[in-house]
Structure 1
Amino acid sequence: MTWLKTGLALLAFAVFSFQLISYGVAEQPYDPYAEQPLKNPAQENQAQDLMHTLRCLVCQGQSIADSNAAMAADMRAIVRHDIEKGWSPEQVRRWFIDRYGDWVSYKPTWSKRSWPLWILPLVILSGGIFLITRLFKREEKP
């Protein structure tokens, strides 16, 4: 009989906990800028182009233009707000990079930390060309 009381108490606790959790999870207010295009077509084109170059922080493999995540919707709203205020796409990109790091942008930038990633392929390519020319170089006869 005690195991029945314990089981019922655990069941009641689980149901009560689930109700508290579901009650505490409220949807964020909808921002119309997340999905609604800007009235100015030139600004909307700038915003769309920028959205395709920013990475969704939740999905990580999608741009914010392609992602359905709530975070991507918030990021789209920020892009549209800032473009409408007159910011250039590069200023908006810089704002996101300053807050989330270089990883948020699909367009890599030259920096003190990333220069080896830009130079190393050139060094490897040059070394490969040098080795191939040395291997196939004809021996000159005296």
Structure 2
Amino acid sequence: MAHTSKEIPRDQWASYLADISRRVRNERVRVESIVRAQPSTRTQRVTLESLSEQTGDQDIARSLPLVEISLELKGSDTGAVQIIVGHDDDAITHRVLEPERISAEVDSDSGALECLEIIERGSGKLLVFFERELDVDSPTLHG
């Protein structure tokens, strides 16, 4: 399965994210945060422990339905990307406060959105993986 990555122009972020929310609302997603190492202002010995405090992947949500993904257009968080996953009575909200770039990875054959990557200024990126249900009528291999 081949994938194509395309960057979303900044002036299209709001409409692109609103379209995703409409098209795949309630589709299950996995949300991961990948944090970049921040340069230290003082010299320190780099150890495995100090490196793990500065970097790392963090699961925010696993296999939860997408409620909404949007660009904040008003208020103190203007320009932030907000993603809400879960259920009405138990939802998780995560904000990317200073997004620099948004790109989408799509399946080249079907055009289905596989992953949304949101790069945050200076601190890392947020990955939103769109999970697809396996077709129950598809043939299985027996070995």
Structure number having the greater strand percentage: 2
TM-score relative to the length of structure 1: 0.25
Based on CA coordinates, which of the two structures has the bigger radius of gyration? 1
Structure number having the greater helix percentage: 1
Higher relative contact order (CA 8 A, sep 6+): 2
